[in-house]
Amino acid sequence: MAQQNPFVYGEIVTSGAFADREAERERLASDLGEGQKVFLISPRRYGKSSLVRDVLRGLARQRVLTVEVTVAASSSYVGFLEAYARALVTADTPVARLRRWTTELLDAVRPELRMETPAAGHGASGPGRVTLAFPAIRTARDTARLAAEVFALPGRIATARGQRLAIALDEFQAIAAFDEGNVEHALRAAVQDQRSVGYVFAGSEPSLMERMLEARRPFYKAGPVIRLGKIDEDVFAAFIDERFRSSGVKPEPGLGEAIVDLAGNVPYDVQRLAHETWDDVRVAGLKSAGLDDLHATLTRLLGEHQTAFEEAWQRRTLSQRAVLRALVLEDGRELLSADVRSRHRLPGASSVQSSLAALVKQDIVMKEDGRYLVSDSLYREWVARKTF
């Protein structure tokens, strides 16, 4: 039987694929189990969604009813309320009881429930897809009434079932775009009295999430805040080496450290580079992996992404390109200083600031500990090697 790649990226992973995060996992599980309203703030590619999913799986094994909804997946406020209501009423609910349960909980807003059976002849199985809609909702007042009903649902379900709930609203920062921000008031008013329901409001745009927690915003001091940071470099490097070793590939000295460094210690990027290196080594029939193998994999990946990276580069303005290249070469530091601007032929400080703000908004660059970093370490390497 072929050995399975021990590194996972690009999907929700199980606890076995985590490096470290024990403290965050334990704290989040404890807070949710106690009915806390927790804010989890993390840059993209740090494993936030996988962490949340893993904690929910653990709570489910303790008979806590778990619900997960990605706020940013909805294109409208009503669409979000429909998705949220559907997730709540279908959570661990037998299909035979689903329609009656939905009516009992949401009769005031006249829900329309549809249970679609799988198409015959396509190998489909299971109960099929369940959709929930509120066709009677047409005005802003209707929407506000619907929101009040949906946001009250978790408390009602906890009481009706005599069961604790843990709810994850992922990409929570997207909620600020709904109903001109009024949704924050409505949601805070509903959740603050739901003692048997734990919430994790998880977001991957730290600046937006931090603003939502400021004074005079509804969620100010609403609950504990967990900020997901980088994993200790030595711990991560040791994890990488051990995963290679346990899969039958001997890591040469310094391999894990080099992978973590090249990937900027961003969990997604570290797992990606380790995964691809492992694949290349196994395809080549090698029993060990070293720095030469790592750099061969990196060269291959840069070649495969060449077209996409070129297109991304071309979409930037000339000023943004210059700032992006300087950012890479200067390790994200002192970009507004006269010395750095002169060395890289950058425009004035105000123009540099505008370019940086645009790059951050486009999720190409992120700011961390006073430095500007390229979000994708592979793109960073491409900019360093292929641009002038």
Q: Which 8-state DSSP code applies to residue 2?
A: P
* Separation between Cα atoms, residue 265 and residue 122, nearest integer Å: 43
- Residue 300 in contact with residue 269, Cβ under 8 Å? no
Q: What is the pLDDT of residue 335?
A: 95
Dig out the tokens for 176 from the structure.
């600020």
Q: What is the pLDDT of residue 127?
A: 53
Q: What is the pLDDT of residue 91?
A: 92
- Residue 21 in contact with residue 47, Cβ under 8 Å? yes
Dig out the tokens for 3 from the structure.
């050995």
**What dihedral do alpha carbons 72, 77, 78, 83 form, nearest 10°?**
20
* Separation between Cα atoms, residue 98 and residue 118, nearest integer Å: 17
- Given a cut of 60, whether residue 211 has pLDDT beyond it is yes
Domain 317-386 = CATH 3.20.20.70: no
Dig out the tokens for 16 from the structure.
């076995």
Q: What is the pLDDT of residue 235?
A: 94
- Given a cut of 90, whether residue 205 has pLDDT beyond it is no
> Model confidence over 54-67: pLDDT tens digits?
999 999 999 999 99
Find the mean pLDDT for residues 262-267. 93
- Given a cut of 80, whether residue 100 has pLDDT beyond it is yes
Q: Which residues contact 141 (CB under 8 A, 6 or more apart)?
A: none
Q: Which 8-state DSSP code applies to residue 47?
A: S
Domain 233-304 CATH class label = mainly alpha
Q: What is the pLDDT of residue 207?
A: 85
**Terminal Cα-to-Cα distance of the chain (whole angstroms):** 47
What confidence tier does 88 reach under pLDDT thresholds 50, 70, 90?
A: very high
Q: What is the pLDDT of residue 124?
A: 47
- Return the domain boundaries, the chain: 21-227, 233-304, 317-386
Please write down the HEC assignment for all residues of 226-261. EECCCCCHHHHHHHHHHHHHHCCCEECCCHHHHHHH
What confidence tier does 17 reach under pLDDT thresholds 50, 70, 90?
A: low
Q: What is the pLDDT of residue 173?
A: 93
Q: How many Cβ atoms sit within 10 Å of the Cβ of residue 194?
A: 22
- Given a cut of 90, whether residue 291 has pLDDT beyond it is yes
- Given a cut of 60, whether residue 121 has pLDDT beyond it is no
Q: What is the pLDDT of residue 386?
A: 94
Dig out the tokens for 239 from the structure.
């994890």
Q: How many Cβ atoms sit within 10 Å of the Cβ of residue 150?
A: 25
1: burial class by Cβ within 10 Å (0-12, 13-18, 19+)?
Answer: exposed
Find the mean pLDDT for residues 215-234. 92
- Given a cut of 90, whether residue 153 has pLDDT beyond it is yes
Least confident range of 18-22, 186-190, 235-239, 345-349: 18-22
Q: What is the pLDDT of residue 118?
A: 58
Predicted model pTM? 0.86
Q: Is 218 helix (H, G, I), strand (E, B) or coil?
A: coil
What confidence tier does 126 reach under pLDDT thresholds 50, 70, 90?
A: very low
Got the DSSP string for 115-178?
EEPPPTTTT--SS-EEEEE-TT--SHHHHHHHHHHHHHHHHHHHHHHT--EEEEEESGGGGGGG
> Model confidence over 315-361: pLDDT tens digits?
999 999 999 999 999 999 999 999 999 999 999 999 999 999 999 98
Find the mean pLDDT for residues 63-82. 95
Q: What is 21-227's CATH number, 3.20.20.190, 3.40.50.300, 3.40.720.10, 1.10.10.10? A: 3.40.50.300
